[in-house]
Amino acid sequence: MADRAELLEVALDSIPEGVALLGVEDQVLFWNHAAASITGCASADLLSRHIPEPLEPLLLASAQQENMEPDAGGQLGHRRLVHVSHKLGHEVPVMARYFLLRDSMGGRMGMEVLFHPADNLDALPHGAYGKSGDLKASQAVVEDRLATTFGDFMRGGLPFGIMWITVDQAAELRKTHGTGACEAMLGKVEQAMANGLRPAEEIGRWGDDEFLILSHERTTEMLAAHAQVLAGLARTADFRWWGDRATLTVSIGAAQAELEGSLANLLERAKAAMQTSFHAGGNQVTLSPGGQECSPS
């Protein structure tokens, strides 16, 4: 009968996500089949050696490792978009998650890295963005959580929907007062809406002026009602610039996930609904499907 270590190795080799186990000195202790397929580097070339330079972006600096905390969703493991070099020389963007491994006394034993190709970053509709690498990474984190949540839903998990949100005054504020003022304003709006989220919900940047919220409301009607509450909270954001208080409003498109649909279709529906709200004058919620507009209360 196979021993437990052999069974564990077989199990890790069977999953589609790359798995790397690293020792205290970042030497490779395990490298599964998916990791080899993604990078072109076979485990036989890496085991017991320090991870090679083309793959070093997969590592977290020691200081980051020691300060790792649970993420916003309460899960252990940081997420990060990184670019590694395939053995054949081309660049491979991957979404990596990091788990610090400790012994029973709290000492650091090493790190587990799970990663998968991020080539599909451009396959889904995103909000418009400039040249900000940080925003691109933020989108990747939200997309990773979206894919996980949608996969769970398709396997019989909790219902969920998304709200695609744009701040109506953002483009004009960026034009007249600059990026710094606009980013400060967006931070105020995000915090105001975050105060109204339920425990399992998440908000993240999805574009220069846009946010995405993952919600687990059971019906489209409940999703729309919740979006109305969040729109009201956005209007309470107290933003002042050079002594002037700006009135802020948001346009929201809400869409509920459907078993016969795809994640890309869900996002397209939410985006179209948001654009309907915005072009109708803003400060309202549009529910997809049906194009039903909800004026602010």
Whether residue 234 is contained in a domain is answered as yes
Choose the final residue of a domain: 83, 117, 151.
Answer: 117
On whether both 95 and 187 belong to a single domain, the answer is: no
Q: What's the structural domain count of the chain?
A: 2
Q: Poorest-confidence range of 50-54, 118-122, 250-254, 266-270?
A: 118-122
Give the ranges where 92-208 is alpha helix by DSSP (H): 133-154, 170-177, 179-194
On whether both 175 and 275 belong to a single domain, the answer is: yes
Residue percentage of the chain with pLDDT more than 70? 86
On whether both 20 and 80 belong to a single domain, the answer is: yes
Whether residue 126 is contained in a domain is answered as no
Predicted confidence (pLDDT) at residue 200 exceeds the cutoff of 50: yes
Which of these, 160, 190, 191, 164, lies nearest to 259 by C-alpha position? Answer: 160
Whether residue 153 is contained in a domain is answered as no
| Structural domain span for residue 252 | 159-294
Q: Assign residue 186 the CATH number of its domain.
A: 3.30.70.270
Choose the final residue of a domain: 100, 117, 134.
Answer: 117
On whether both 35 and 100 belong to a single domain, the answer is: yes
Whether residue 59 is contained in a domain is answered as yes
The rounded distance, in Å, linking the Cα atoms of 36 and 20 is: 10
Q: Are strands 78-85 and 202-205 parallel, antiparallel or unpaired?
A: unpaired
Whether residue 8 is contained in a domain is answered as yes
Q: Poorest-confidence range of 57-71, 98-112, 212-226?
A: 57-71
So what's the pLDDT on residue 75?
41
Choose the final residue of a domain: 56, 89, 117.
Answer: 117
The rounded distance, in Å, linking the Cα atoms of 135 and 240 is: 24
The rounded distance, in Å, linking the Cα atoms of 79 and 142 is: 10
Whether residue 141 is contained in a domain is answered as no
Predicted confidence (pLDDT) at residue 285 exceeds the cutoff of 60: yes
On whether both 38 and 91 belong to a single domain, the answer is: yes
At residue 199 the predicted structure's pLDDT band, cuts being 50, 70 and 90, is: confident
Tallying the residues shown for the chain, one arrives at 297
pLDDT tens for each residue of 128-153? 666 555 677 778 788 888 888 888 88
Residue whose pair of structure tokens reads 């199990």 in the numeric block = 11
pLDDT tens for each residue of 53-87? 889 888 875 445 555 544 433 344 566 778 889 98
Predicted confidence (pLDDT) at residue 279 exceeds the cutoff of 80: yes
Report the largest interatomic distance among the alpha carbons of the chain, rounded to a whole angstrom.
Answer: 74
Whether residue 134 is contained in a domain is answered as no
Predicted confidence (pLDDT) at residue 3 exceeds the cutoff of 80: no
pTM for the whole structure: 0.64
Mean pLDDT of 163-192: 91
On whether both 164 and 281 belong to a single domain, the answer is: yes
- C-alpha 52 chain-centroid distance: 28
Beta strands per DSSP E along 198-296? 202-205, 210-215, 239-241, 244-246, 250-256, 284-288, 292-294
Which of these, 289, 292, 278, lies nearest to 128 by C-alpha position? Answer: 278
Which of these, 273, 186, 183, lies nearest to 227 by C-alpha position? Answer: 273
**Starting from the edge strand earliest in sequence, which strands make up the sheet with 284-288, in order?**
202-205, 210-215, 161-167, 250-256, 284-288, 292-294
For residue 197, CA distances in Å to 53, 127, 163 come to 42, 21, 12
